Every structure is written in C-alpha cells, then in structure tokens.
Amino acid sequence: MSQVMDFDALRQAMADNYDQPEGPARNARAERLLVEAEKLGIPLAVIEALGHQLKVYNYSSEKDKMFVPFARLLRMWDERPEDFDEYESHSLHWVFKWMSAGMLGQPHIPLASIEKWLGEMEHRYRLAGYSERAVRSAEFNIAAHVGDLERAERAYAAWLAADRDAMADCHACELHDQGWWQSRKGEDERALQLWRPVLEGEHVCAHEPHAALASSLLPLLRLGRLDEARAHHLRGLRLVRAMESMRSSYADHVEFCALTGNEARGLELLAERPAYFTDSGEPRSKLNFLAVVALLMDRLVERGLGDQVVPGPAGREWTARELAVHARGEALALAARFDARNGTPYVGERARERMDRRPLVDRLPLGVRATRPAPVAPPPPAPRAEERDLADLLAEARRLADALDPAAMDAWAAVARAARGRELDPRDQADLVDHEAMSRGPEGAELFERAAELYLAADDPGEALAARARAAFVRSLTGRPDEALETVTALREEALALFEAGGTGVRQTASVLVGRTRVLMNRLHEDGGDAGAAQEAARELLAFAGPHTADRHLAYRAAEAKAVLGELALHAGDPRAGAELLARAAEEYVAAGLPWFAVEHEARLAGIARQLGDAESAERAARAALEHGQGHLEPVGQAQLHLQVAEVLAASGRFPEAAGHALEAAHWADEAGEGPRLGAWARHQLGGFLLRQGRFAEAAEVLESALPDLTAETHGDGAIVQTQWWLGDCHTQLGEHREAAERRLRAAEIARHWPDQRDHAMLAHLAAEALGRADLPTEADRAYARAGDLWRELGNTPGLVRALRARAWLAAGGEAGLDAGRELMAEAARECAAAADATADDDARAGLIMELGHTHRQFGELVARSVEDGADEEATHAAFEEALTHLTEAIAAFASLGAGALGPRTAAELAAGWLEADLGRPHEASARARAVLAAYEEADADAETAEARRAEAERLLELPTTRQDG
C-alpha cells in the first residue's frame, strides 16, 4: 500500500477483506486498512475502518481485541455524532451487544464493570429510542453465565415481552439462544421446537444454523433421535469447520463424538484444529473446548487406550492419558478464574458436569471414515479354561457341534486350552483334532488325517472315512484336485460298503458323499471339470440323505445337495431353475433350525433375482440373508449383506432405507478393517443415496471421506468419477460453485481417457456452468468451448447448441460484447437448423426444432437485455426490433411442434408482446396477449403454468395507453 487509497477503494478493500476466511490474517489486514483510512483525513472513513476491525475481531479467535476500537468509536460518537452516517450510527449501537458478550467471556474484566456496561447500554438505547429487547437479552446472558437462574428467568421473560426493533438480534440468533436456555433447563423437546425454523432454513444468518445444529446434538441424543443427531453432526460440522470464531460449536461436535462411540472421529476433529488448544483471545470458548477434550481423552483411557498418541497442544507429543490430565487441569483453572470473577461456583460446576458425562449411545455409525483409528480395548479376559471343568467344556462343545452351531469352533478351542498337558480318550482326542483341522482351513489336511487315525483307534471307521474325505477336499483347494478326486472316489466306495455291512451310520456315509460332491464342484470351478459327474454326486447325496432329514445333520446334507444342484443349473445357463433350487435349499436350512447356513444362498439368490429383474424377490432374499446372519457373521459379512440390501432398495428408489443399510455397511467394514476397500465403496454408495434425498451437506461430508480411499485398482475409476460428480452436485446445491467446478474438472480429467466421451462432455459442460456461477467468465467460456467441441465430435447437436448459447451470454456480458454474443447465438441457430434438416428421425427432429425455438428466444432476450439504462431512443428501438425478430422466429418454431411446445410458445409470445408495447404498438401487443389467452382455452396444460401465463397476458392487456402510445 505505497499509495493512499481513495475512499471508494478503501470500502472495496474492506468488503473484500470481510469475504476472506476468519482468522489472524484477516484481522491484520483490517488493522492495515485502518492506517489507510487515517491517511484520508475523512472522519467517516476512520469510523468505517474501526467498524470493520470490530467485525473481524468479533468473528475470530482474537475477540479480546474488540474493546480498543470500540472505545475509540464511542469517543468519536460522543464528541462528533454528526460524523456518523445512518448506517454507522446503527452499527455503533448494534455492537454494544458484542461488547457485553465479549466482556462476559473475559475473566479479567470485573463483573461490576460488566453490570455497569449493561446500564450504559440501557441508557444509550433509551436515548436512541430503541426498545429494551436487546438489553434484556444481554442481562439474561449475564445472569445465566453466573448461575443466577431466578434473574435469568426474569430477564428471559422481559426479553421475549419487549418489542422487536432494529437492535434486536436476528430471528435465527434469538431462537438459538432461547432454545439453548430451554435445553439447559432439561426441556429438550421445547428447545428443538424453538430451533426448528433455524434448522430448516426458515431463519438463517452468517452463523446460523451452524450454532443451532451444534447445540441440538446433545438434546437429540438424550431424546434418542439418533438419525437426526447424526445428520445434524454431518451438516453442522461442515458449516463450522472453516469458521475460526465458532470454537464452542466445534467443541459440541467433539463432545458428540465422545458420547456416541466415535472417539476416532473426535481425534480427527482435534487434529484439524490445533490452534484451538492455545488460542487465548476468548477464554470462555477455550474452556468449552478443553472440557470436551478432557471428556474425549477420558473415554480413550477408559477403553484401555491411554497410551495412544493423540493430537494436542503444539510442541510435544501427547498420549491420551497425558492430555486428559492436562486438559482437565487447564479447563478447571479457567473455570476457577471465571468463578472468582463472578463470585459463584457455577462455571466450575458446569465444566465438571460436562467433563464427567457418560456416553449416551454405545455405537452410532456416522458413515464417514476415521483416519486415526481408535481400536476398542480388548474385553476383560474370560476365566481360564483350566479353571472350568474339562468334562463340562467337552459336553458344551459336543452340544454345539451336534447343533451345527458356528460357536462350536470356539467351544472346541476352549477344550484344547483346558486339555493342554492332559490325557484324553481317543474319541475325545479325535473330535478335538478334527475341529482344530476345520479351524485351519487350507492348512488342515494333515490334521484331518491325524483325526482319522484317532477315530480308528476309537473304533469309529465311518468317522475316520469322513475325516479323510475332509482332508481330500482341503487338498483339492490347495492345488491337488486330481489326487483329491481319486482319494475321495475310493473313500465313497469304501464308505458305502461299510454302510451296507452295518459298520457305520448314515451321518458318516453322507459326510463322505459330501466330500466327493465338494471335490467335484471345486474341479468344475477351477478348471472346467465334469458337470455331469458333479450332478450325479449331488443327486446321490440327496437320495441318500433325503429320507433322514429328521436328523439335523442329514437335513443339512440334503439342503447342501439341493444348493449344489442349483449352482449346477446356474452353470448350465438356467438361472430360474438355479434360483428355485437355491431357494429350496435355503428354506430347508431354516426349517432344520440352521438359518446361518442359508445366508450364502440367500445372498446369491438376491443377486440372481436382480439379474432377472425381479426386484421383489431380490429384496426378500437379501433381507432374509441379513436376518439369518445376525449374530453369526463376521463384520465383513455383515458389511457385505447390508450393502447388498442397500443396493436392492436403491434399485427401487427407496433411498432413505437404502442409506440406513449403507451406513451399517460402512460401519461393519470399518470394524472388519476393510475401511479402505469395502468401507470406501459403502461410503460412496451412502453419499449417493443421501444426495438423492436432497441431503446435500451430509452427502458431501460422506463422499469427501470416501474419496481418499477410492482407487482405480480396487473400485474402478468410474467410482472415482461418480464420487467427484456427485460432490459437484452437492457443492452446487450448497452454493459452493468454485468447489463444484473443481470437482467436475477433476472428474472430467479422468473421463477424458475413456473410449466413450459422453461423460467427459457432460462433466466439461457442468464445470462450465459452475464456473459461470462462480463469476469466473473467462474460465467458464473456455470450459464451454471444450464441451462444445466434445458434443460436436459426439454428434450431439443439443449439447453443442446449449454450450454455444451459454458462451453467447458470457460474451455479451463481458469484454467481448454483444457482437460476439450475436455470432455465437447465430452459430447455435445454424447448427440446430442444419441438424433438423439432416435427420430422418421424427423424434430427433422435434427435439432439434425445440432447441431452435429456445435459441431464437434466448437470442431475442440477449439483444433486448443489452440495452443499457439511459440509451438513446434510436438505439433502443433498433435493439427491440431485432429482439422481436428473433422472438417471432422462436414462436414459429414452437408453434410447428403443436401442443407439446405450448409452454415455451406462450412464454415467447408474451415476451414479444412486452416488446411490442415498448415499441409503442398497442394493437400488436394486445393481439399477442389474446393469442396466449386463446391458447389456454383450447388446450390442456399444466395448471400452474396456465394460470401464470393468463395472469401475465391480462396484465399486458391492461397496460396504460400512454405507455403503448410511446
């Protein structure tokens, strides 16, 4: 700033500075601008610069700096009030409220000084003719802060009773404070009722609904309204994240994480705002922040994670245990300063109450990724197996194994621990080794052979054959399929002979037949083995086990045989027969009391039904799989099933319920350690489902958390493009147009390498729209030009024409000017007309003629709007005549399409009518109005559009003759 600014430049600089992010850099700029103002020698310039300083200090971490510029402003007012214009006079009185709240947050300012200031505020407001509403609101805040609840109630009632006037806080801020008070008194429902207009966007301001969303979190949790609490966290955090001055609201979000089992998310939030640990400009918000830091750290220590490294004040490394002690000590020290100032213990009591809160929800999935995982502490160790009676353990393991319960594996593991160093009889030892082999998966073959030897020693040759068949199946999975088939074929013959001789039972023989069937199916999947042999084996198994399904083990074998036959039907290209057999197998598992075995087949059924277009069956099967897997599936299985249900529901447009299942899928994927793979995909899906419900802020938060984990190798680059595309849509709906353009350009950069360029073209076009809305016309024109080239290469004339029209508007409104806009509009019209003449497709021609009509209409509007205020009569007349020519062309194009273009035609007709009136041709204007009225008498049309068009036509007919006569 080497040269002195003029006043206009100073004002623009202050406006630009206020649009910058909150923080010390903005404050420093405001200080420099005050120096520039002082150089001008204009009192009002200094007043405005001081007011600007006040605003940026108030909305920053340096609130303690407000008092000096305000004292100077007040002195200037008292000495020369005539130097203040109407706006600055209003502003001076307005910031009295900031001073009151600001003093309250500074424990070094005596309470007597604050009370004196309240009296000064009341006196000055009375002199200025303002009501008591703002004064009583300030009194309420003082009383509530020190814990004088009776006075607070009186002031609250007086605040609400006083008239709203120019000094009253905005509706959004007032409702937030009123709801906060009700919530503080335990009236959570009442608080949420008061906040509703703010939360729903009816009343908003620069810091609302940001604060109301944060304040609503605890009441919603206490009321059990968990879905709303989650949504408010995702929405609200997005709003406060970039606002340095909202440390207390940010603390509410950290507290929410600590109380809902989301400690990892809470740690992420602390890491995002390291300065919040030390910023000292507003001690009250620092106290709020440190209190919830202590709460979060205590939760981690309680979960056995006291030694985990956590974000903390800069300068050293902190563990959760160390930070818990530090934050609690700092918070209580700050609270003690406030209490000493206030003469009450109230602030300290409230701080302790907050730090000692207990979780309100064990687990509330948020759908977002946690990059600083906080693993759950292991549960207390179970009683040592040696301390339990071995016989009891064996009995429990046998009971679970006989029930085919998945928990049997853990029960046999407990037997193994208890039996270590002890002798078991051969049968017990055989069963123990057999189950250990099952737990080893592909490494279990040798143990199965050892179990077979033990079964022979226990005089159970049939079970020995079954164990050897299990070993053969394991070998078929580990690269020895021919050997496995040879072995299991011999075992089958031996088992059937033994069964015929009465040397073994149905269960054991069926186990051998199952082994042979599984080996044959594995060969089929691995190297295209003999489907006929596999089918024969499955039918043999079914015929053998089918008559004995009163035995749960044999019902299990018969159901498996049907499932194999179903898979073979699918392999043969008969999905309906395959689905029917799989459904019967699942039903039989459930009927036998073995629902957990139905899960795999039901999940398979859901996929087949979707391929067949049977949405109802797909949903039924997916839900059944989820139900039957409860309590038995590992976390990754839970994630997969929830995701399948979500996708089935989404296919039928039931996005709210789909979002709930995608949320659970993301949670279970994280629990399984699959966050970067399956979890990222679930978040991607969840974000899309939220977007489709119009929940744009939540969707953006979820999609942004998915994006870092999405990779082309794992998820495909289509998923990355779609996520960026969806994020662009979210940013657009949230008014964040630069961010929308950036997302779409990143997606377009990936899509430009795809063979099909339609997505590339659309993304370039959407990016151009966002750049235009972000007031970046040069960049927008460049993107539209790129999109136009792509549309041309694709032979998509409507896309090309829309890009040309958009460029025309940009050119006419920018440096290129109207002539450049005319050229682009004319090119759009030529492209449309040529394509319409060239196509033999009637529908395509109709679409192109519709675009031609829109192009001529926009051409007319472009020319008409180019007339500036104060333009001479001749230039205005020429422009309006030119515009009317294009509108007439538009009307003709729409008219050729008949009733399908009634809306666009009448809109163009009315636009032409107004131009006729402005050109002093009343009869022509009236004729166009009457043509619109007649059109809606003769045709069916959208009622709302018809009513609007008729009303406009009537207004056109009622124009004064003097205007029409020019």
The pTM (predicted TM-score) of the whole model is 0.85
pLDDT band at 961 (very low <50, low <70, confident <90, very high): low
Q: Write the secondary structure of 209-244 as one string of H (helix), E (strand) and C (coil).
A: CHHHHHHCHHHHHHCCCHHHHHHHHHHHHHHHCCCC
Token pair belonging to 372: 């600083």
Residue 68 has pLDDT above 80, yes or no: yes
Residue 442: predicted pLDDT: 86
The predicted model gives 601-630 an average pLDDT of 91
Which of 732, 816, 808, 794 minimizes the C-alpha distance to 767? 732
Residue 376 has pLDDT above 80, yes or no: no
pLDDT band at 388 (very low <50, low <70, confident <90, very high): low
DSSP type of residue 318? E
Residue 96: predicted pLDDT: 86
Q: What is the pLDDT of residues 112-162, one digit of tens each?
A: 999 999 999 999 999 999 999 999 999 999 999 999 999 999 999 999 999
Instruction: Yes or no: say if 179 and 192 are a contact pair by the CB < 8 Å rule.
Output: yes
Count of C-beta atoms within a 10 Å radius of residue 291: 28
Instruction: Yes or no: say if 563 and 582 are a contact pair by the CB < 8 Å rule.
Output: yes
Using CA atoms, how far apart are residues 275 and 273, in angstroms rounded to an integer? 6
Q: Write the secondary structure of 622-649 as one string of H (helix), E (strand) and C (coil).
A: HHHHHHHHCCCCCHHHHHHHHHHHHHHH
The predicted model gives 438-443 an average pLDDT of 89
303-307, 477-481, 678-682, 831-835: which range is least confident on average?
Answer: 477-481
pLDDT band at 939 (very low <50, low <70, confident <90, very high): low
Residue 1: predicted pLDDT: 44
CA distances from 960 to 394, 821, 925, 955 (A): 102, 34, 12, 10
Residue 965: predicted pLDDT: 44
Count of C-beta atoms within a 10 Å radius of residue 699: 27
pLDDT band at 3 (very low <50, low <70, confident <90, very high): low
| Helices 408-419 and 426-440, packing angle to 10 deg | 120
Using CA atoms, how far apart are residues 398 and 396, in angstroms rounded to an integer? 5
Q: What is the pLDDT of residues 481-503, one digit of tens each?
A: 889 999 999 999 999 999 999 99
Residue 206: predicted pLDDT: 86
Residue 941: predicted pLDDT: 65
**Collapsed DSSP state (helix, strand, coil) of residue 369:** coil
Residue 357: predicted pLDDT: 97
pLDDT band at 575 (very low <50, low <70, confident <90, very high): very high
Pick 230 or 3 by higher pLDDT.
Answer: 230
Q: What is the mean pLDDT of the chain?
A: 92
pLDDT band at 374 (very low <50, low <70, confident <90, very high): very low
Burial bucket for residue 119 (CB in 10 Å: 0-12, 13-18, 19+): exposed
Which of 372, 373, 331, 322 minimizes the C-alpha distance to 354? 331
CA atoms lying within 13 Å on the CB side of residue 267: 25
Instruction: Yes or no: say if 838 and 857 are a contact pair by the CB < 8 Å rule.
Output: no
The predicted model gives 471-477 an average pLDDT of 92
383-387, 440-444, 776-780: which range is least confident on average?
Answer: 383-387
Per-residue exposure over 570-594, b if at least 16 CB sit within 10 Å of its own CB, e if not: bbeeeeeebbebbbbbbbbbbebeb
Cis status, amide bond into 359, omega within 30 of 0? no
Using CA atoms, how far apart are residues 761 and 802, in angstroms rounded to an integer? 12
Give me the phi and psi of 319, to 5 degrees please: -95, 165
Chain centroid to Cα 718, Å, comes to 19
Chain centroid to Cα 704, Å, comes to 8
Per-residue exposure over 547-557, b if at least 16 CB sit within 10 Å of its own CB, e if not: ebbebebbbbb
Residue 509 has pLDDT above 50, yes or no: yes
Using CA atoms, how far apart are residues 218 and 123, in angstroms rounded to an integer? 38
Q: What is the pLDDT of residues 257-282, one digit of tens each?
A: 999 999 999 999 999 999 999 999 99
Using CA atoms, how far apart are residues 966 and 953, in angstroms rounded to an integer? 20
The predicted model gives 698-708 an average pLDDT of 96
Using CA atoms, how far apart are residues 582 and 580, in angstroms rounded to an integer? 6
Instruction: Yes or no: say if 184 and 156 are a contact pair by the CB < 8 Å rule.
Output: no
Instruction: Yes or no: say if 297 and 323 are a contact pair by the CB < 8 Å rule.
Output: yes
Q: What is the pLDDT of residues 160-182, one digit of tens each?
A: 999 999 999 999 999 999 999 99
Instruction: Yes or no: say if 723 and 707 are a contact pair by the CB < 8 Å rule.
Output: yes
CA distances from 498 to 463, 494, 519 (A): 11, 6, 21
The predicted model gives 582-603 an average pLDDT of 93
Q: Fill in the amino acid letter for 715.
A: H
The predicted model gives 285-296 an average pLDDT of 97
Residue 632: predicted pLDDT: 86
Count of C-beta atoms within a 10 Å radius of residue 80: 11
End-to-end CA distance of the chain: 53
DSSP type of residue 60? S
Residue 463: predicted pLDDT: 94
